[in-house]
């Protein structure tokens, strides 16, 4: 990895971890809810063991880091070592700066809602850099890799186990908030992750096939595949252009088609993930 790419990666990971730490400290800790994180479990354990939340989080993270390093590869492991060590450091700094921090909203339900939205932003930054904040993120990543499970769903399932642990130390309302918060946290996390990677598969049938194909290749710098299709009504042969584009490219393409051939037949499908051979590689010989 180039030094510039490494710098960008670690800057993004630091920022993502900071967002997660702020979310935990200012929203989850005051609400006492154990929502989809090891920090949530640390809040519960803190009621029985007289250690700081940052210290408990650190110990659990070390254990899970070893498992993540073995199962998810060195790149994920090394990045997560960094963020897992950084997470309790940020929490420790916040504990020193705000020793008697109270709820910013004054309502546990609103705290949990704020936590869900803010922590999902931080986690999506980390997951999209092939890292995590440690803890349950490692468990979710393992489930994602070996069970082919969406990260959001994996976070929900592992988070629910932590959420139910709140019953050991808190009242029914806190347990309910923990369970509901863990469930919705997974849904919102999926939204952030897949919206970040979302692409569109655009299928176009038009007599202006050459102009549209040229626009895709030269203006968008994207690829395309051509298929011969026969219309069932007139049994006439057409060429169908299929290309996969991101959001910005999709808007440019649709604007061009509207100008070039407003009557073109276009279908669009959402694509959340794809694997392909990079153009930078040497031509493959079959």
Give the pLDDT means over successive 10-residue stretches in the chain (286 positions): 74 88 86 72 82 81 77 66 82 87 83 85 77 70 76 72 76 80 73 66 91 91 88 86 87 90 89 61 55
**How far is it, in rounded angstroms, from Cα 37 to Cα 91?**
14
Residues 6+ apart with CB under 8 A from 230: 236, 237, 238
pLDDT at 235: 87
pLDDT at 165: 75
**Looking at domain 199-271, which of 1.20.120.1200, 3.30.70.120, 3.30.1490.20, 3.20.20.70 is its CATH number?**
3.30.70.120
**How far is it, in rounded angstroms, from Cα 165 to Cα 214?**
59
The pTM of the full predicted model, rounded to 2 decimals, is: 0.60
pLDDT at 164: 78
In the DSSP assignment, the letter for residue 282 is P
pLDDT at 203: 93
**How far is it, in rounded angstroms, from Cα 151 to Cα 277?**
24
Does residue 29 contact residue 21 with C-beta atoms inside 8 Å? no
Does residue 117 contact residue 154 with C-beta atoms inside 8 Å? no
In the DSSP assignment, the letter for residue 24 is I
pLDDT at 162: 76
Beta-sheet pairing, 237-245 with 199-205: antiparallel
Does residue 39 contact residue 46 with C-beta atoms inside 8 Å? no
pLDDT at 7: 81
**Which residue intervals of the chain bear CATH 3.30.70.120?**
199-271
């Amino acid at each position: 990895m180039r030094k510039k790419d490494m710098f960008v990666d670690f800057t993004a990971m630091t920022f993502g971890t900071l967002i997660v730490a702020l979310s935990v400290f200012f929203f989850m800790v005051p609400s006492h809810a154990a929502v989809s994180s090891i920090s949530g479990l640390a809040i519960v354990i803190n009621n029985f063991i007289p250690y700081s939340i940052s210290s408990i989080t650190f110990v659990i993270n070390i254990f899970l880091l070893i498992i993540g390093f073995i199962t998810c590869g060195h790149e994920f492991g090394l990045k997560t070592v960094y963020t897992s060590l950084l997470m309790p450091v940020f929490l420790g700094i916040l504990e020193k700066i705000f020793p008697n921090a109270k709820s910013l909203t004054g309502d546990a339900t609103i705290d949990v809602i704020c936590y869900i939205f803010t922590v999902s932003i931080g986690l999506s930054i980390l997951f999209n850099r092939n890292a995590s904040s440690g803890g349950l993120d490692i468990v979710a990543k393992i489930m994602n890799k070996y069970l082919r499970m969406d990260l959001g769903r994996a976070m929900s399932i592992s988070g629910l186990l932590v959420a139910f642990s709140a019953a050991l130390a808190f009242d029914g309302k806190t347990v309910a908030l923990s369970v509901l918060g863990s469930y919705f946290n997974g849904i919102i996390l999926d939204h952030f992750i897949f919206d970040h990677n979302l692409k569109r598969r655009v299928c176009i049938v038009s007599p202006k096939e050459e102009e549209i194909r040229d626009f895709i290749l030269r203006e968008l710098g994207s690829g395309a595949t051509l298929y011969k299709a026969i219309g069932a009504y007139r049994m006439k042969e057409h060429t169908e252009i299929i290309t996969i584009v991101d959001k910005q490219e999709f808007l440019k393409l649709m604007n061009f088609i509207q100008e070039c051939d407003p009557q073109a037949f276009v279908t669009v499908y959402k694509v959340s993930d794809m694997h392909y051979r990079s153009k930078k590689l040497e031509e493959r010989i079959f």
